[in-house]
Amino acid sequence: METTNNKNLATFTHLSALSQYCIPFGNYIFPILIWSSNKDKSEFIDFNGKQVLNFQLSMFLYSLVLAIIAIPIILITVFSNIPLDTIINDGDFMRHHLSIENITGIAIVAIVAIFLFVGLKVAEFFLIIYASVKASNGERFQYPLTIPFIK
């Protein structure tokens, strides 16, 4: 049976990952601070801290892979479909060159990668909330699709 203090610290460890929406890299800094200062006090806090950090590192890796797929494809597709003289001389180049007819199959891969990224961020948000609720109830929760970087 976990104490209320341990449950609260584990819950705050999970919720501190949401600081990424206000503070850059807050989803790594605050969980590391809470976990490293309290991991020796309780196995429950240690377990939850590792889960949060592994999940955040996994989300970073997945986001990086999706960005490596999407960004170059989009840039190449956009710049190959727009001649430079059209941008300079014609103010209505969007209608002529960025139409559905100019989208190639490879651009669809980039669009799918963007939708996967958005879905990943939405799932991340709700999984953090769900894990914090589980931690506040004293239950152990393992995030899905998490690579165990920290054991």
C-alpha span between 56 and 147 (Å, rounded)? 10
Gyration radius (Cα) of the chain, Å: 21
Alpha-carbon distances of 71 from 60, 67, 135, rounded to whole Å: 16, 6, 37
pLDDT tens for each residue of 71-95: 888 888 777 766 655 555 555 555 5
- Residue in 49, 58, 60, 53 with CA at minimum distance from that of residue 135: 49
| Position 144 in a domain | no
60 confidence band (pLDDT: 50, 70, 90):
very high
| Position 142 in a domain | no
Per-residue pLDDT at 101: 60
Q: How is residue 138 annotated by DSSP?
A: T
pLDDT tens for each residue of 114-148: 999 999 999 999 999 999 999 999 999 999 999 99
Alpha-carbon distances of 54 from 44, 57, 123, rounded to whole Å: 15, 5, 16
| Position 62 in a domain | yes
What's CA 7's distance to the chain center, in Å?
25
Q: 104 lies in which domain range?
A: 4-136
| Position 82 in a domain | yes
| Position 122 in a domain | yes
Q: How many domains does the chain have?
A: 1
Mean pLDDT lowest for which of 26-30, 106-110, 120-124? 106-110
| Position 17 in a domain | yes
Helix, strand, or coil (residue 106): helix
